[in-house]
């Protein structure tokens, strides 16, 4: 357990000291994931005085908040004392220094709305003025015979990868059983795990019930190219098949078998909404929230993977962080009327030897049921299966509304800028895909807006890097230490280096 009760600091819920002012408000955050950590950070930035705003974070895991995005890569690291540590979001002592009470290994079992208290698993009660649910999501366990042990947990050899404990268990098991691995589910996480395991020398089979992998982000053409690219990396993909049974050595499919000692379940996730439901809050697919991010109880909010906003549960870290910023502005009083109206969907597959980016949503049927083109959406595709390259860009009313890119890193920055900022798309979309300078000016350090996100893993913008430079972080390593940019998947390292060079040249 980690707590941040320092000298001269009031204990949440306790009466004021003889010389100190009374705590004005106490915000309690249930959950200690990436959304919760960002909210706590933004709350303290908005109100630095802990005697005016107390912040308590209650996490069920034993770990301090860490980068869940990188668990798939950490899973293939060697087990034991030299194992790669999880990437914590804050350095040692940060929570204490910023007067935020962080309690790990502290699951919450109930919310008492009548008394404005949460009840912990050991019976302790903690009062709140405002409660925030950031409980995340739980892995979906598909209905496979033998996948669960008699006690209700997962059977030996079966793992999920939603938390650090699961990652460590998988890593240890792989060290003891280095044979073939079956991945059930071919979404972003499943393919990241598959590619990481293949790169580490494992024989990997991905089983997916749909007609092509990443069917939620790609069309059929992109899916076919992705299968070829995965095959070239040593990952076998079985589509249109469901796992039906597991006996510890064989994963049985509808009409096939996969011999393996390890099964990793990456078949999606479900919002953790039980606390809210048991407390009588409105729950749909997730905890229903308004544009103000409040639930059906105005004293309780929800953000991140557990929250359902305008009918959508995002499941991505960037919208969760956007929600954290908005809610912190409201609770800290820096922008009391801030609202969250939805975030942009930008996801990048962080896999060894494979570059896949999805923006927005692709139109389902761009040619219409009668075979005629849908005039509302213009679709441009570029397909090179033998080279493992595919690009599709959907444009409506002159703006990018969706895109899928495989093996096309050149236009990612430009298309992301066009999509996120709803900028007009040049007439020659093919030139944009090919990354030609004459199509549209590629974003440079000088032309990027301050709000442009450079490091998506840690939510670091260009403005954050400029501010850190002004505070004395004068090289890439120092910028990384100050902002954590580049400490996630590493995909932004070149961009951080470019901004560093630009700042140095500017003096």
Query: What's residue 399's pLDDT?
Result: 93
CA-derived radius of gyration, the chain: 24
Secondary element (H or E) of residue 355: strand 354-360
132, β-bridge pairs: 29, 301
Domains 158-267 and 453-506 are alike in CATH topology: no
Q: Supply the pLDDT for residue 14.
A: 37
Orientation of helix 476-483 relative to helix 462-470, angle to 10°: 110
Given this model, what pLDDT does residue 18 score?
Answer: 37
The region, left, alpha or beta by phi > 0 then psi within -120 to 50, assigned to residue 152 is left
Residue 445's pLDDT band (cuts 50, 70, 90): confident
Domain ranges of the chain: 25-138+270-332, 158-267, 361-433, 453-506
The secondary structure of residue 387, as a DSSP letter, is G
- How sure is the predictor about 505, in pLDDT bands with cuts at 50, 70 and 90? confident
Give the pLDDT of residue 121: 95
Is it the case that residue 16 has pLDDT exceeding 60?
Answer: no
The proportion of the chain whose per-residue pLDDT surpasses 90, expressed as a percent, equals: 62
Q: Could you name the CATH architecture of 361-433?
A: 2-Layer Sandwich (3.30)
Residue pLDDT, tens place only, 177-228: 999 999 999 999 999 999 999 999 999 999 999 999 999 999 999 999 999 9
Statement: residue 65 has pLDDT above 90: yes
Query: H helices then E strands: how many in the chain?
Result: 13, 27
- The pLDDT value recorded for residue 10 is 36
Superfamily of domain 25-138+270-332: FAD/NAD(P)-binding domain (3.50.50.60)
Structure tokens at 441: 């000016």
Q: Are 298 and 290 in contact (CB under 8 A)?
A: no
Going by C-beta distance under 8 Å and a sequence separation of 6 or more, which residues neighbour residue 298? none
Whole-number mean pLDDT of the chain?
87
Per mean pLDDT, which range of 126-140, 239-253, 379-393, 456-470 is the poorest?
A: 456-470
**Cα 148 to Cα 142, 235, 377, distances in angstroms:** 10, 26, 46
pLDDT of 368 higher than 80: no
- Provide the CATH topology of domain 453-506: Arc Repressor Mutant, subunit A (1.10.10)
* Pairing mode, strands 453-455 and 378-384: unpaired
Query: H-type helices in 203-338, by residue range?
Result: 220-232, 274-278, 317-332
Average pLDDT over residues 112-127: 98
β-bridge mates for residue 431, sequence order = none
Top CATH class of 158-267 equals: alpha beta
Cβ–Cβ under 8 Å, residues 129 and 27: yes
Structure confidence at residue 13 (pLDDT)? 39
Burial of residue 448 (CB within 10 Å: 0-12, 13-18, 19+) is: buried
How much is the pLDDT for 441? 52
**Cα dihedral 155→161→162→165 (10° resolution):** 70
The residues facing 416 across adjacent strands are none
């Amino acid at each position: 357990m980690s707590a941040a009760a320092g000298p001269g600091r009031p204990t949440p819920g306790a009466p004021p000291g003889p010389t100190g002012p009374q705590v004005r408000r106490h915000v309690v955050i249930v959950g200690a994931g990436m959304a919760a950590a960002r909210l706590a950070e933004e709350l303290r930035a908005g109100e630095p005085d802990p005697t005016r705003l107390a912040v308590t974070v209650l996490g069920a895991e034993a770990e301090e908040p860490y980068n869940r995005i990188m668990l798939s890569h950490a899973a293939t690291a060697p087990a034991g004392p030299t194992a790669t540590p999880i990437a914590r979001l804050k350095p040692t002592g940060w929570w204490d220094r910023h007067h935020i009470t962080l309690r790990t290994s502290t699951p919450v079992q109930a919310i008492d709305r009548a008394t404005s208290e949460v009840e912990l698993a050991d019976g302790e009660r903690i009062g709140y003025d405002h409660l925030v649910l950031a409980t995340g999501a739980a892995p979906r366990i598909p209905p496979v015979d033998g996948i669960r042990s008699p006690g209700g947990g997962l059977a030996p050899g079966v793992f999920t990868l939603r938390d650090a404990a699961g990652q460590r268990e998988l890593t240890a098991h792989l060290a003891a059983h280095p044979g073939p691995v079956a991945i059930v589910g071919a979404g972003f996480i499943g393919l990241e795990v598959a590619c990481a395991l293949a790169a580490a020398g494992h024989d990997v089979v991905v089983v997916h019930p749909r007609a092509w992998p990443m069917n939620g982000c790609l069309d059929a053409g992109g899916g076919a190219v992705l299968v070829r690219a995965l095959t070239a990396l040593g990952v076998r993909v079985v589509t249109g098949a469901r796992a039906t049974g597991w006996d510890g050595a064989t994963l049985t499919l509808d009409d096939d078998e996969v011999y393996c000692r390890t099964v990793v379940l990456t078949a999606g996730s479900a919002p953790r909404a039980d606390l809210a439901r048991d407390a009588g809050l409105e729950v749909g697919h997730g905890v229903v929230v308004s544009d103000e991010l409040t639930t059906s109880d105005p004293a309780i909010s929800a953000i991140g993977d557990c929250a359902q906003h305008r009918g959508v549960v995002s499941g991505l870290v960037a919208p969760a962080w956007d929600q954290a910023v908005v809610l912190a502005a409201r609770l800290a009083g820096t922008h009391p009327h801030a609202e969250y109206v939805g975030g942009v969907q930008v996801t990048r597959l962080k896999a060894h030897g494979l570059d896949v980016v999805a923006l927005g949503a692709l139109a389902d049927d761009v040619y219409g049921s009668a075979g005629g083109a849908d005039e509302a959406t213009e679709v441009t595709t570029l397909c090179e299966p033998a080279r493992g390259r595919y690009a599709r860009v959907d444009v409506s009313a002159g703006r990018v509304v969706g895109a899928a890119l495989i093996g096309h890193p050149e236009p990612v920055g430009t298309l992301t800028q066009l999509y996120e900022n709803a900028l007009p798309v040049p007439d020659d979309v093919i030139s944009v895909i090919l990354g030609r300078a004459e199509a549209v000016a590629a974003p440079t350090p000088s032309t990027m807006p301050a709000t442009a996100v450079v490091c998506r893993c840690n939510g670091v913008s260009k403005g954050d890097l400029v501010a850190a430079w002004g505070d004395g972080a004068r090289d890439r390593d120092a910028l990384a230490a100050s902002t954590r940019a580049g400490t996630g998947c590493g995909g932004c390292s070149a961009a951080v280096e470019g901004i560093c060079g630009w700042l140095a040249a500017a003096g």
